[in-house]
């Protein structure tokens, strides 16, 4: 790109060739990103308080985009272009040609509008009116054809043909991004489904639309419904792995990180290779196996204690396959389990930019990081009676961090009940509340006494029943034919 072309990006920044150009007369990446960041679009976004990710991520944009199918690729590239000035132009130049191979003309127009507001002189910043008109006509013709065929199927009263006709019409609407019409078409499939597999396919299609919309509560509900269906042994694992992943994403989207972690940790490794389910390849249309590793790992870090992380994540044979795809997530969890909290947070901080640009994870990354950091501070403080604020600032560094910032953070944690401690503002100390060992001992004795009394009462109840000659018949499912009283062994209790 020449200097003249870059100079027209914003009409605001004047770039001097003598100090901004590389020897071949082109702007370097830093200058180009600066020019884009000062474009009308990002200027307005900044004034409105919108998120702007000024730092370039670690991933290669083309390789990242290649992991997803056309619709998901364009959606993710559009999200990156809206947030990240260093990648905005490259993302749009990848997304626009891809969008023209699809049926969604509105998405194409949105891409062009965004590019025009960033760089109006770009070769791709002009709407291809001929393509838009042609595509709209083809879409209308296809809609009429599918509706005509569906009317014919209904007249013939062939349930399977009607079901497939509704499915084809719903898929057509989905490809045009008419999500409401696609939802109605898929819902109408229900009365014509003749097998559990048909119902499962319809349910997963609805779950997909709910994730794209997004409607996270409905996404969780439909995904769980698909998992509850009784399918053939050869179909069950395929549907369950996809529905489990969709459940996790639904919980993540709704901010329920604990449930999301449990759902992602239960996803079968076959998810990565299961291929299309309900004619949708979820590993490319929604989230890859790498995404599951990141989503599941971060949600687990934010919601589980060290022992749970060790047992449910690091020693989880199934989830280990996902963690191998994202080894830095595994290292971060290992550091947390080993009480090396600063190393854990440093790894996560290094990937913050990448995660902010994720279309699903981005809106939650700050909260997830905040929860992980708060947990780390709490765990770090457990073995101490008091810690200086300067030591905490050093142990949990952040850009421009000072003891005063750490004090404000601790005050917030104490007020919200996350941290049980007091702050000595004079000596700059975080002090654990004094513990009454005698009261703790008395409390422990009383709890033990109550448990012993409960067990004794159960044993006396058993003895009294036996002396009275009473018997309790075993449940019908117990094929041994023994009664409960006769099957009790020494020391066993009723309860």
Domain layout of the chain by residue ranges = 3-127, 195-376, 384-431, 437-487
Query: Which residue stretches of 382-436 are H helix?
Result: 389-395, 403-415
Tokens at residue 49, please?
Answer: 């308080």
Q: Which residues pair with 429 in a beta bridge?
A: 388, 424
The secondary structure of residue 229, as a DSSP letter, is S
pLDDT at 28: 57
Q: Kindly report the CATH class assigned to 384-431.
A: mainly alpha
The rounded distance, in Å, linking the Cα atoms of 120 and 475 is 78
Residue with tokens 């997909």: 208
Closest alpha carbon to 286 in 248, 320, 317, 258: 248
Instruction: Decide: residue 312, CB within 10 A, 0-12 exposed, 13-18 middle, 19+ buried.
Output: middle
pLDDT at 37: 83
The rounded distance, in Å, linking the Cα atoms of 462 and 458 is 6
The rounded distance, in Å, linking the Cα atoms of 103 and 193 is 28
pLDDT at 258: 96
pLDDT at 393: 86
Q: Is the dihedral of CA 113, 114, 115, 119 positive or negative?
A: positive
Closest alpha carbon to 392 in 424, 351, 433: 424
Within 10 A of 467 (CB to CB), how many other CB atoms are there? Answer: 8
Tokens at residue 419, please?
Answer: 């941290």
Tell me if domain 195-376 and domain 384-431 are identical in fold: no
pLDDT at 490: 43
Tokens at residue 347, please?
Answer: 């790894």
Write out the chain's pLDDT in tens, 495 residues.
343 443 434 333 333 333 444 444 444 556 676 788 888 899 999 999 999 998 989 999 999 999 999 999 999 999 999 999 999 999 999 999 999 999 999 999 999 999 999 998 888 989 999 999 999 999 999 999 999 999 998 888 888 899 999 999 999 999 999 999 999 999 999 889 989 999 999 999 999 999 999 999 999 999 999 999 989 999 999 999 999 999 999 999 999 999 999 999 999 999 999 999 999 999 999 999 999 999 999 999 999 999 999 999 999 999 999 999 999 999 999 999 999 999 999 999 999 999 999 999 999 999 999 999 999 999 988 888 888 888 888 888 887 777 888 888 889 999 988 888 888 888 888 888 877 677 778 888 899 999 999 999 999 988 888 888 887 666 665 444 444 444 444 444 443
Q: Compute φ and ψ for 101, nearest 5 degrees.
A: -95, 5
Tokens at residue 410, please?
Answer: 């601790």
- The fold of the 195-376 domain, in CATH, is 1.25.40
- Please, are residues 35 and 15 in contact by the beta-carbon 8 Å criterion? yes
Q: Is 434 helix (H, G, I), strand (E, B) or coil?
A: coil
């Amino acid at each position: 790109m020449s200097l003249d072309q870059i100079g027209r990006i914003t009409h605001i920044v004047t770039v001097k060739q003598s100090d901004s150009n590389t020897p071949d007369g082109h702007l370097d990446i830093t200058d180009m990103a600066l020019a884009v960041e000062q474009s009308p679009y990002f200027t307005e976004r900044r004034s409105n308080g919108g998120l702007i990710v000024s730092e370039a991520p670690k991933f290669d944009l083309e390789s990242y985009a290649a992991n997803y199918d056309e619709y998901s690729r364009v959606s993710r590239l559009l999200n990156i272009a809206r947030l990240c000035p260093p990648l905005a132009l490259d993302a749009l130049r990848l997304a626009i040609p891809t969008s023209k191979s699809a049926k969604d003309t509105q998405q194409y127009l949105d891409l062009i509008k965004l590019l025009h507001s960033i760089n109006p002189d770009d070769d791709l910043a002009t709407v291809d009116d001929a393509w838009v008109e042609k595509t709209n006509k083809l879409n209308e013709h296809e809609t009429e054809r599918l509706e005509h065929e569906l009317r014919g199927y209904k007249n013939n009263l062939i349930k399977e043909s009607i079901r497939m006709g509704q499915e084809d019409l719903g898929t057509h609407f989905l490809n045009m991004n008419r999500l409401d019409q696609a939802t109605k078409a898929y819902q109408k499939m229900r009365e014509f489904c003749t097998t559990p597999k048909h119902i499962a396919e319809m349910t997963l299609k609805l779950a997909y639309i709910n994730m794209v919309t997004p409607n996270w509560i409905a996404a969780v509900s439909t995904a769980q419904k698909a998992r509850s269906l009784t399918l053939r042994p050869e179909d069950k694992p395929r549907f369950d792995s996809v529905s489990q992943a969709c459940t996790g994403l639904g919980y993540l989207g709704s901010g329920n990180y604990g449930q999301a972690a449990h759902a992602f940790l239960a996803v079968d490794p076959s998810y990565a290779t299961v291929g299309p389910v309900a004619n949708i390849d979820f590993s490319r249309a929604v989230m890859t196996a790498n995404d599951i590793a990141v989503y599941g790992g971060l949600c687990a870090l934010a919601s589980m204690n060290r022992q749970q992380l060790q047992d449910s994540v690091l020693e989880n044979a199934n989830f280990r396959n996902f963690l191998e795809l994202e080894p830095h997530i595994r290292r971060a969890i290992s550091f947390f389990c080993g009480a090396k909290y600063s190393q854990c947070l440093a790894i996560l901080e290094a990937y913050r930019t990448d995660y902010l640009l994720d279309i699903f994870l981005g809106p939650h990354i700050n909260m997830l990081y905040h929860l992980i950091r708060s947990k780390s501070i709490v765990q770090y403080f457990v073995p101490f009676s008091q810690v200086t604020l300067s030591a905490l600032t050093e142990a949990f560094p952040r850009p421009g961090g000072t003891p005063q910032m750490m004090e404000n953070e601790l005050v917030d944690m104490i007020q919200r009940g996350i941290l049980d401690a007091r702050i000595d503002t004079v000596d700059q100390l975080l002090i654990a509340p004094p513990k009454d060992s005698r009261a703790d001992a008395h409390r422990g004795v009383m709890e033990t006494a109550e448990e012993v009394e409960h067990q004794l009462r159960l044993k006396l109840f058993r003895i009294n029943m036996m002396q009275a000659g009473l018997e309790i018949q075993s449940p019908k499912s117990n094929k041994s034919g023994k009664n409960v009283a006769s099957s009790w062994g020494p020391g066993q209790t009723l309860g």
